[in-house]
Amino acid sequence: MPQTNPVISDPAPRPLTSINDEESLFRQSVREFAENQVRPLASEMDEQGKFSSDLLKQFFDLGLMGIAIPEEYGGQGGSFFNSILAVEELSRVDASAGVIVDVQNTLVNNAILRWGSEDQKKLYCTRLASGTVGAYALSEAGSGSDAFGLATRAEARGDGFVLNGRKLWITNAYEAGLFIVFANAAPEKGYRGITAFVVERDFPGFTVGKKENKLGIRASSTCELILEDCVVPAASILGELGKGYKIAIETLNEGRIGIGAQMVGVAQGSLECGIGYAKERSQFGQPIAKFQGVQFQIAQIATELEAARLMVYNAARLKDAGEDYVKQAAMAKLFTSQVAERTASQVVEIYGGYGYTKDYPAEKYYRDAKIGKIYEGTSNMQLNTIAKLVIGDM
């Protein structure tokens, strides 16, 4: 029979100084929800490549989709750090659940709270906190790491704009009702023509296209967006005309901390499964957890995981304190994605042949871990950012 994974309370305890009592209670409540409501559905959602609509509704009912949105707009009035804790705990059980909450909180909500007008905050934050999923549409087929090479255009027409182009790899797009779309309103100015627009799903000329069939985080939707003479009112401009590049850069800096939290959660969940299996699996007359070779493997990945977690927490704390965190965010995303991939790979080997089958959870964690090195800035782009900040002017 496939293994039923025991819930391990906390095999890698957090330092007491890294999290206060209120945050600890919040984290525990999210963990209990993840164990009781998300874990039973994780395998089925992965197989079907679709996230449960009932589970998504529970995310809103529990306030997980508007953690840092002020209470005056219907949110929880929490911190960015709270959002990070939620992403980590959900990802420990299912990375798809983690990234849905991550994109909503660290990208979409953050962008509107920071750059939106008061009218936009009242209109959109209220919806994002209560039942509307958001998506962040920057990437295109020819514009990935070169985010400012986007081809989507915004032409001023009447009292608004007409958008034309295609977006690719847009997380949450299948479920989303609201999209932050980046388009160039003045191509002759290069990246200084890029503008961010808040686009509603029912705007004329806007279509959600193909849903990708992915290796990992399969329950999280990733779709193409098609804009064909999409009519957008001027009131939908987020921030200022031509300042979209600034919004993109700074929002993604914050989002990298969220991906770091996702990868920490994936690594934590994978490690717990590996420990549980090593205690149950016997060879040569004893559990394999008693062999020093296996013990050393677990000790090494547990140590790397703790370091990764502290890097994420540090970046999140800096962000909440209003301090410079760009280098720390890039380092956290780079390192956590490496740790998650190494951890999940090692756990597959601890399981042996069983780890290669879908009857056990190890292979899913392995598939889910891979995306950490790719989205919201590839590992090479993180290295590029870190190098510039460490070396400085030359």
Q: Which pLDDT score, from 0 to 100, does residue 3 have? A: 46
Mean pLDDT of 62-73: 98
Q: Which helix (H) or strand (E) holds 166?
A: strand 160-171
Active site residues: 376
Domain with CATH 1.10.540.10 in the chain: 16-132
Q: Coil, strand or helix: which one is 233?
A: strand
Amino acid at 151: A
Phi, psi of 175 (to 5 degrees): -95, -15
- Nearest alpha carbon to residue 180 among 110, 84, 273, 85: 110
Contact 88, 82 (CB under 8 A): no
Task: Flag whether pLDDT at 13 surpasses 60.
Answer: no
Q: Which helix (H) or strand (E) holds 269?
A: helix 244-280
Q: Which pLDDT score, from 0 to 100, does residue 15 have? A: 42
Contact 336, 312 (CB under 8 A): yes
Task: Flag whether pLDDT at 43 surpasses 80.
Answer: yes
Domain with CATH 2.40.110.10 in the chain: 135-242
Task: Flag whether pLDDT at 394 surpasses 90.
Answer: no
Mean pLDDT of 134-148: 91
Per-residue model confidence as pLDDT tens digits over 238-272: 999 999 999 999 999 999 999 999 999 999 999 99
Task: Flag whether pLDDT at 163 surpasses 80.
Answer: yes
Mean pLDDT of 213-233: 98
Q: Which pLDDT score, from 0 to 100, does residue 121 have? A: 98
- The CATH T-level fold of domain 246-391 is Butyryl-CoA Dehydrogenase, subunit A; domain 3 (1.20.140)
Q: Taking each helix axis as running N to C, give the angle between helix 80-93 and helix 95-102, from 0 to 180 degrees, rounded to the nearest 10.
A: 160
Contact 102, 220 (CB under 8 A): no
Phi, psi of 378 (to 5 degrees): -65, 165
- The CATH T-level fold of domain 16-132 is Butyryl-Coa Dehydrogenase, subunit A; domain 1 (1.10.540)
Three-state SS sequence of 5-44: CCCCCCCCCCCHHHCCHHHHHHHHHHHHHHHHHHHHHHHH
Task: Flag whether pLDDT at 16 surpasses 50.
Answer: no
Helices (H), strands (E): how many in the chain? 13, 10
| Mean pLDDT of all residues belonging to the chain | 94
| Residue 201 structure tokens | 């799903």
CA distance 19 to 320: 14
| Residue 38 structure tokens | 């998300």
Per-residue model confidence as pLDDT tens digits over 283-327: 999 999 999 999 999 999 999 999 999 999 999 999 999 999 999
More confident residue, 145 or 296: 296
Contact 164, 228 (CB under 8 A): yes
- The CATH T-level fold of domain 135-242 is Butyryl-CoA Dehydrogenase, subunit A; domain 2 (2.40.110)
Task: Flag whether pLDDT at 233 surpasses 80.
Answer: yes
Domain with CATH 1.20.140.10 in the chain: 246-391
The angle at the Cα of 116, spanning 114 to 122, to the nearest 5 degrees, equals: 110
Task: Flag whether pLDDT at 55 surpasses 60.
Answer: yes
Per-residue model confidence as pLDDT tens digits over 93-121: 999 999 999 999 999 999 999 999 999 99
pLDDT category of residue 18 using cuts at 50, 70 and 90: low
Task: Flag whether pLDDT at 1 surpasses 90.
Answer: no
**C-alpha distance from residue 223 to each of 134, 207, 212, 227 (Å):** 13, 10, 6, 13
Percent of the chain with pLDDT over 70: 95
Per-residue model confidence as pLDDT tens digits over 344-386: 999 999 999 999 999 999 999 999 999 999 999 999 999 999 9
**C-alpha distance from residue 135 to each of 11, 180, 351 (Å):** 34, 6, 37
Task: Flag whether pLDDT at 40 surpasses 80.
Answer: yes
The CA dihedral of 234, 236, 241, 245, to the nearest 10 degrees, is -160
Mean pLDDT of 112-131: 98
DSSP 226: E
Mean pLDDT of 169-182: 98
